[in-house]
Amino acid sequence: MKDSDSIFIYEWMVKRLKLKSNELIVYAFLYDGSEILTYTGTIKYIADSLCITSRSVSKILRSLNKKGLLNER
């Protein structure tokens, strides 16, 4: 992530999807305009970009997948 990059957290992510904490931040980081995300990058990239552990990112991605918000690749 560059210093000029932004992450947007929309109200519907909180209210409709019931996301919170790091799960919300990871979802917003990956959000590309589609509610069901497809991510093909590395867990390490997300972890480094958001200053959270790779283990936490793995757990969050599994949770988003289980909720039907992330396509597994």
The closest alpha carbon to 67, from 32, 24, 7, 8, belongs to 24
The pLDDT value recorded for residue 5 is: 78
From CA 67, how far away is CA 63, in angstroms rounded?
A: 6
- The strand pairing partners of 71, in sequence order, are 38
Residue identified by tokens 């969050």 is 60
- Given a contact cutoff of 8 angstroms between Cβ atoms, the answer to whether 23 and 63 are in contact is yes
From CA 42, how far away is CA 20, in angstroms rounded?
A: 22
Q: Residues 26-71: pLDDT tens digits?
A: 999 999 787 778 888 899 999 999 999 999 999 999 999 999 999 8
Domains in the chain, ordered, with CATH? Answer: 21-71 (1.10.10)
Q: Check whether 22 has a pLDDT greater than 70.
A: yes
pTM of the model: 0.88
